[in-house]
Amino acid sequence: MKVIIINGPNLNLLGTREPGIYGTETMESYLTTLRKRYPSVEIEYYQSNVEGELINKMQEVGFSYDGIILNAGAYTHTSIALLDCIRSLQTPVIEVHISNVNNREEFRRHSIIGPGCKGTIQGFGLDSYRLAIEALLTLNP
In the complex, the smallest distance separating the C-beta of residue 120 from ligand DQA, rounded to whole angstroms, is 11
110 annotated ligand-binding residue? no
Instruction: Provide the 10 A C-beta neighbour count for residue 49.
Output: 15
Measure CA 27 to chain center: 12
Q: Applying CB under 6 A, does 121 fall inside the site for ligand DQA?
A: no
The sheet that has 119-122: what strands, in order across it? 42-47, 2-7, 67-71, 93-97, 119-122
Choosing from 30, 65, 75, 97, the catalytic residue is 97
In the complex, the smallest distance separating the C-beta of residue 51 from ligand DQA, rounded to whole angstroms, is 13
4 annotated ligand-binding residue? no
User: Which residues make Cβ contacts (< 8 Å) with residue 121, sequence separation at least 6?
Assistant: 94, 95, 96, 97, 128, 131, 132, 135
Q: Find the part of the chain contacting ligand DQA (CB under 6 A) among 25-33, 35-43, 93-101, 129-137.
A: 93-101
Q: Applying CB under 6 A, does 116 fall inside the site for ligand DQA?
A: no
Q: Applying CB under 6 A, does 73 fall inside the site for ligand DQA?
A: yes
Return d(Cα 83, Cα 40) in angstroms, integer.
Answer: 30
Q: Which residues are annotated as a binding site for substrate?
A: 71, 77, 84, 98-99, 108
Binding site for ligand DQA (CB under 6 A): 10, 71, 73-74, 76, 97-99, 101, 108
